[in-house]
Amino acid sequence: MEYRLEQVNDQIYVLAIWDTEWNTYTNAYIIEEEAGLTVVDSCKEGHLMFLQHALNKIGKTADDVKLMLVTHGHEDHVGGETLFTKARKVIHADETPPPGSSISGELLDKGTIGDYDFTTVGYHSPGSVVFFHRPSRTLFTGDFLCFFGDPLSEDGLVSKGDDLRRAWMEYLQGGGVSDLPVFLNGLRIMKDYDADVLCTGHGGVLVGEIDVFLQELIAIGEKNQ
Please work out the total of residues on this chain that contact Zn ion, with binding judged by CB under 5 A: 4
Q: Residue 170 class from Cβ within 10 Å (0-12 exposed, 13-18 middle, 19+ buried)?
A: exposed
Choice between 45 and 211, CB closer to Zn ion: 45
Interface mask toward Zn ion for 101-140; x: CB under 5 A = ----------------------------------------
Q: Is 19 in the site for Zn ion (CB under 5 A)?
A: no
Quick one: which of 13, 15, 68, 76 contacts Zn ion (CB under 5 A)? 76
Q: How far is the CB of 146 from Zn ion (least distance, A)?
A: 7
Longest dimension (CA), the chain: 49
Question: What's the count of helices (H) and strands (E) in the chain, helices before strands?
Answer: 5, 14
Q: How far is the CB of 223 from Zn ion (least distance, A)?
A: 27
Q: How far is the CB of 114 from Zn ion (least distance, A)?
A: 24
* Residue 121: φ, ψ to 5°: -105, -25
Q: Is 92 in the site for Zn ion (CB under 5 A)?
A: no
Helical packing angle, 210-224 and 162-173, nearest 10°: 10
Using CB under 5 A as the binding rule, the residues of this chain from 143 to 202 that contact Zn ion are 143, 201
The residue ranges of DSSP E strands in 100-152, in sequence order, are 104-107, 110-113, 116-120, 129-133, 138-142
Choice between 75 and 194, CB closer to Zn ion: 75
Q: Is 94 in the site for Zn ion (CB under 5 A)?
A: no
Choice between 136 and 141, CB closer to Zn ion: 141
Q: Is 41 in the site for Zn ion (CB under 5 A)?
A: no
Q: Residue 170: which residues within 8 A CB-CB, separation 6 or more?
A: none
Choice between 94 and 143, CB closer to Zn ion: 143
* Residue 47: φ, ψ to 5°: -105, 5
Quick one: which of 47, 74, 89, 92 contacts Zn ion (CB under 5 A)? 74
Which residue from 5, 36, 55 is spatially nearest to 158, judged by alpha carbons? 5
Using CB under 5 A as the binding rule, the residues of this chain from 133 to 152 that contact Zn ion are 143
Q: Is 44 in the site for Zn ion (CB under 5 A)?
A: no
Q: Which helix (H) or strand (E) holds 99?
A: none
Binding site for Zn ion (CB under 5 A): 74, 76, 143, 201
